[in-house]
Amino acid sequence: MKRTILMLSVLALAVISSAQGRKRTSGNPILPEFHADPEVLYANQTGRFYIYSTTDGAAGWGGYYFTVFSSDDLVEWKHEGIMLDLATDQVPWATGNAWAPCIIERSVGGKWKYFFYYSGHNPANNRKAIGVAVADSPTGPFKDLGHPLVDALPEGQGHGQQIDVDVFQDPESGKCFLYWGNGYMAGAELNDDMVSLKEGTTKVMTPKGGSLKDYQYREAPYIFYRKGTYYFMWSVDDTGSPNYHVAYGTSATPLGDIKVAAEPVVLIQNPEKEIYGPAHNSVLQIPGTDEWYIVYHRINPAYLNREKGPGFHRQVCIDKMSFNADGTIRPVTPTQEGVQAVRIAKKKNRK
């Protein structure tokens, strides 16, 4: 009897110790060191969440590789390593400026494939371009296409950069689309191979008007679908400004005209909590639910002064996002606490 009581006591202490070791919330920022332009993915293959980002902290946005972090609950994040390196022959056409990636999971021939889109510097024409690399796992190894996917301004567009890419699969049609642009927003349908654009579908979609106080488009388009509506989000102002923030509009189709929301600001700074420049976001829907999260970067307050480089000292954060009954997005309150753990039941066969 005494032995049984002793064993139960040890077990209870172990459970208490384990619980005390767990984080109650993710906290913000959620990733160590400096990262920006986060892309969040839930992978059906593994039942885990992943974040891909710009590796920040290098002067002049000089980062040259991408890393990936994974989590099974949005609270504890594991560094999975470098998954694409633009300074090696892994990406023969680019030399650096590894910026603002996105990724999509697709079932191809009964197997999961991961298509990773990103920006890099192309020395052949001394400008930024968008590339794509493919893998069988969300952590790689990834194989680059070998040449840029998007390497020129859209027809009729006179300025801007080919950066800040997003990929989206339309649940209505099953078709996939690519969006990009700093100084403009462009969209195009992807061919079934996912590594080329469908000829004649590229469209400049830049939301018109606005000011730096509300929705004047700068960069970082992000698209998602909810209850029959296509939501378009983008960043306003300069990435080194405390005022850098997220605005949004909606459309009836993936390449349709964007109607700016009556109250367009989704996420903006809160100086009282030392939260500055929260923008360049992605969005996560918990599978099978109407539960949503926004993942974004913000400026580390220790680097807020211009001489310290706020534009490349950014950190990744996560907060909940919700909707009003009419489908409009409620303004997100950026926090220091982050979010509570989210777990998804794993399935035996995810293919």
Residue 306: partners with Cβ closer than 8 Å, 6 or more residues away: 240
The rounded distance, in Å, linking the Cα atoms of 87 and 70 is 24
Q: Which of 37, 56, 144, 237 is catalytic?
A: 37
Strands (E), the chain: 35-43, 48-55, 65-71, 78-85, 99-108, 111-122, 127-135, 143-144, 166-169, 176-180, 186-189, 203-204, 219-226, 229-236, 245-251, 259-267, 276-285, 292-299, 314-321
Cis amide bond preceding 141, omega within 30: yes
Helix (H) or strand (E) holding 14: helix 2-21
Is-catalytic flag, 37?
A: yes
The rounded distance, in Å, linking the Cα atoms of 177 and 152 is 18
Is-catalytic flag, 219?
A: yes
| Contact criterion met (CB below 8 Å) for 133 and 141 | no
Tokens of 34: 């400096």
The rounded distance, in Å, linking the Cα atoms of 205 and 197 is 16
Q: What is the DSSP letter of 302?
A: G
Q: Which of 56, 166, 189, 219 is catalytic?
A: 219
Q: Which residues are catalytic?
A: 37, 219
